[in-house]
Structure 1
Amino acid sequence: MFLFFFLCFFSNDLWSQKKSDNDSLLVKVDTVKAKFKKARRVNLDPNAPAKAAFYSAVLPGLGQAYNSKYWKIPIVYGALGTSMYLYINNNNEYNRFRDEFKRRLDLGLDGPPETGEFSNLTNQALIEAQELFQRNRDLALLISVGLYALNIIDANVDAHLQQYNVNEQLTFTPKIFQDPLNFSTSVTLSITYNF
């Protein structure tokens, strides 16, 4: 009760900001000088991604060379070479089994011959082998086309990303933090942007 009366009688003094007619507001302006580092000027070429994609389409790996990512060239040729090797190998095997099946049909053989490379295979086994190697050949061709397209996309995206200013003023670093109370460690990510 005492606090209520105290606040009621002395509430006039509680207003800390009171404006009178002859009061003037004085504002002191401090000048702040900021030091800015001069950002390096990057010459942006809007045609660079299209050039890189075109070069990679003409010759796989040339777009990566245009982007100065020379370490990607062996990966491109290794991936394309492996998929083309699988295509050629499966195509040769398919042709071998198909030729043998055609030879048997031309000779009128219902079963395997007594001698030869395919003497232990029936006609049904030859058909199944043809289907297997044909499916593997088609899959290898599809993978080759996909890797060729991926080569072009990689060159294009890499050329786009080279046009962004990435420097040490913007960092994204992991840090290991040890809790002082229970000494448990935790990994945190720190995002820093310096002006």
Structure 2
Amino acid sequence: MNKIYFIVLFLFTLGTTAVFSQSKTVAPLIAKDTLKSKDIDPLTPAKAAFYSAILPGLGQAYNKKYWKIPIVYGAIGVSMYYYIDSNQKYHQYRDAYKRRLEGYTDDEFSYYDNDRLISAQKFYQRNRDLSALFVVGFYVLNIVDANVDAALIQFNVNENLTVRPDVYMNDVTSRANVGLTFNYNF
């Protein structure tokens, strides 16, 4: 029994000395195309989101995605235009209705009755509110886009990693099936 303990202890000692006796010239087994930890800046997405919150499109400029800036301003600008237009028309119909209630009939909508003025007010009020929602939505989407884009810039995209569509035969039903293959080449 003591001989077994002695042999196990001897093999363990021999194994650990072999592990710790490696020379320092041996390079660690790290792939050449991986990112080093100093290349990743965890504050980059927060900076991009902050810049986009300050001025829409500034986060996209920080990420060097200049082609997105006209899209951001186009989406926010068109929504803002419809908000302003619907708000003006809402106030026109509302003021005309208020003048009708006071007894005046000389407004620009003299060919409308009171029910039509009320329905026009509701229509433009609803459009104004929806346009305000779109302005806020596109503003938030601008911030989220800058944040996600800044996070994905640091993502390591490798030539060895592929996702491809694949058509294969099902052995049971002998029909063609469509799927995706996920391949990693070492």
TM-score (normalizing by structure 2): 0.72
Shift of the alpha carbon at 1:175?
4.4
Cα 1:165–1:186, aligned 2, differ >3 Å: closer, same or farther?
A: same
**2:141 matched to 1:150?**
yes
Unaligned runs of at least 5 residues, structure 2 = 1-28
Q: 2:93 aligns with which of 81, 93, 97?
A: 97
Distance 1:94 1:72 in 2: 33
Please give the alpha-carbon distance, in whole angstroms, between the structure 2 residues aligned to 1:63 and 1:89: 29
Report the Cα offset of residue 81 of structure 1: 1.1
Q: How many residues align?
A: 155
Tell me the CA shift for residue 165 of structure 1: 0.5
State the SS of the aligned residue for 1:120. Answer: coil
Superposition map of 1:177-192 within 5 A: 187-192=178-183
Map 1:61-72 onto structure 2 (within 5 A).
61-72=57-68
By percentage of residues, which structure has more helix?
2
The ranges of structure 1 where at least 4 consecutive aligned residues each deviate by more than 2 angstroms after the TM superposition are: 102-106, 174-179, 184-190
Distance 2:68 2:167 in 1: 33
CA distance in 2: counterparts of 1:157 and 1:36, whole angstroms: 28
Deviation at 1:102, TM superposition (A): 2.2
For residue 59 of structure 2, give the secondary structure of its aligned residue in structure 1: helix
Q: Give the whole-Å Cα distance in 2 for the aligned partners of 1:188 and 1:146.
A: 35
Distance 1:72 1:170 in 2: 28
Letter in structure 1 aligned against 2:33: A
TM-score, structure 1 length as denominator? 0.69
Identity over aligned pairs, percent = 58
Structure 2 residue identity aligned to 1:192: N
Q: 1:160 to 1:36 in 2, by over 3 A?
A: closer
Q: Deviations over 1:87-145 (max 9, x none)?
A: 01100110111121222233x24xxx3x6631211122212211111111011101110
- Partner AA of 2:114 in structure 1: N
Residues 1:172 and 2:163 are matched in the alignment: yes
Structure-2 separation of matches of 1:143 and 1:36: 48
